[in-house]
Structure 1
Amino acid sequence: MAHINPAALVALEDSLSISGLSPSMTKSLTFAHNRLGSKELETNNYEAAIFHFSNALKLSDGDTLSQYNLLLAEGHSLYKRGNKNRLWDAIQKYNKAAQLKPRLGEAHYYIGLSYHKIGDTDFDLIIESYEKALRLSLNPDIMQKTKEQLSLALEREKRLKDFWK
């Protein structure tokens, strides 16, 4: 049921919890919450994603996938708010996510976006974040976006340097 209809399983969670959850049911509910959280992330519904990843962690507190996705969702929510303090908080969330999954580059891509949004003239941090993301594992969509952002950052840096010559 967790694979076919995760929402239906999550809807039964309270009823199932009354009699106590077996290890396999806990695993299924964790999977269902992660699946639903991932769908919410894809549609930029960060608060709902945070809800599901948090619930997955309540069920399986050592689940690094849930922790990673929760940190990304929290970072995205902070990034979306956009003020400088929230952006620094987002960078902290993304850094924690990067530490949890050091082979994945996605968090570094978002760190680069956050640095750019804070101020687009700190090219060293922006470029370093994108380059690190590209050295790590990325899905094709994020890889393409990272390459585009890196190219734009390098172009802006060159224009600024040329301007001050």
Structure 2
Amino acid sequence: MSIMITCLAITAGGCSEDESLTGQSFAPAAQPAKEYVLEKALLSTVDDVSHTPPGPVVTQLTGTDEQGRDKIVWLRGDKSGKIDVVGSVLLKDGISQEQVLALLQEKGHDRHSVDQIFVAPLDNSGKQIVWRVTLHGPDQHSFVFDFKTGELLLENDQKMPS
């Protein structure tokens, strides 16, 4: 399965309560992040290392696990060099990029209007993984879809009614 991941910058996503007590989190550099996921057997191969904008400051690694399944792992670090896992997901466990594009089409936006589309943790807890989509244009219209179900969670940073 191929996934397009567009990463332009690292932006602060705010601190969770535990980070506010221990200090600011950082996105680990590519090489230490790669060594960490391989040493901890979180991935068997690493195909790409990048940073996910916007949201939590994390390093994103894509690759395969021991069973050859496509997987994404997100890491954060601190000033001391400690690295922690924010979250991880097997791509087969969620909706595909094509399904996200179909959901956007239903809302009147075709694939050519997409500026960025990527999978990332919703926040610093890493408990919920989402598809983030930003459209071209001056208003940077954005959508956040639940990775597993495709439910629209946020539109232009406004929570959707339940």
- TM-score, reference length from structure 2: 0.24
Greater strand share, 1 or 2?
2
Greater helix share, 1 or 2?
1
Higher relative contact order (CA 8 A, sep 6+): 2
- TM-score, reference length from structure 1: 0.24
Larger Rg: 1
